Amino acid sequence: MTTLLEVIDIRAGYGEADILNGLTLTLSDNEIAVIIGPNGAGKSTLMKAIFGLVSVHGGDIRFAGQVISGRRADQIAKLGLSYVPQERNVFASMTVHENLEMGAYLLRAGLRDHLSRVYDLFPQLQERRNQIAGTLSGGERQMLAMGRALMLDPRLLLLDEPTAALAPRYVAETFERIREIRSQGIGVLMVEQNARQALAVADRGIVLVMGQNRFEDSGPKLLANREIAEMYLGG
């Protein structure tokens, strides 16, 4: 296990106001980490801060040993970091196939191999490859969003609430896919509302409160912790 992502004492937010106040976390490759916490704790802001989509006012973010804070999003993507935002996470006016092509935008060659791997993971996408993404169902759209993010063979995948808008039958399937993704050697950092199910697949859980990490432990241990269960997992 080597350290993949280091977030050190980061302060970030929209405009001048900080939503993250000195958050620190590290992530190893081949690990699923789940961030839980109340609304407004800064879970989504953390993901955006890693990709430079919000203003970072202090601290350092390193990926595979390189400082990435202050870099452009496309340069960060080049290093092997992928991100699936919670909303507006597909190109709604483009076809499924074109969405996946955009995922491989930085790829010079070998599009076919990468495509077939994503289609193996999400067979439904292949059936709908010429459909406009905006007309997909919520579950299919989430698969496409993850498929797009996986096209470049990232070393780390950031997932912002991958199951938030899904019907219950898709939730379990999504977590199953996430486990599969990890088994291919890709690290996963995810924010989840379905905390119990997410922690069940997680190697590590992080509780984020008021822009700082409050607790950190293995997924099962956090689930077993009564205090946390009462406060953050709905009893």
Partner 1 sequence: MIDFLQLLIYGIVLGSILTLGAIGASLVYGILRFANFAHGDMMTVGAYLALVAVTTTGMSVYVALPFAMIGGAAIAIFFDQIVYKRLRRTVPIILLISSFSTALILRSVTQLIWGPKNQVYEAGISLPYVVGGVRIRPDHVTIFVGSVLLIIAFHLFLKYTMAGKAMRAMSDNVDLARISGVNSERVFLWTWAIGGALAAAAGVFLALDTRLHPEMGWHVLLAVFAAVIVGGIGRPYGAIAGGMIIGVATELSTMVFEPAYKPAVAFALMVIVLVLRPTGVIKGQP
- Which residues are near partner 1 by CB under 8 A? 51, 53, 72-74, 76-78, 82-83, 85, 88-94, 98, 101-103, 105-106, 148, 152
Q: Judged by CB, which is closer to partner 1: 90, or 222?
A: 90
* Shortest Cβ 197–partner 1 spacing (Å): 26
* Shortest Cβ 88–partner 1 spacing (Å): 6
Q: Judged by CB, which is closer to partner 1: 148, or 182?
A: 148
Q: Judged by CB, which is closer to partner 1: 37, or 154?
A: 154
* Shortest Cβ 102–partner 1 spacing (Å): 5
Half-sphere exposure of 233 (CA within 13 A, CB side): 22
* Shortest Cβ 81–partner 1 spacing (Å): 9
* Shortest Cβ 118–partner 1 spacing (Å): 14
Q: Judged by CB, which is closer to partner 1: 146, or 228?
A: 146
Strand partners, 36: 207
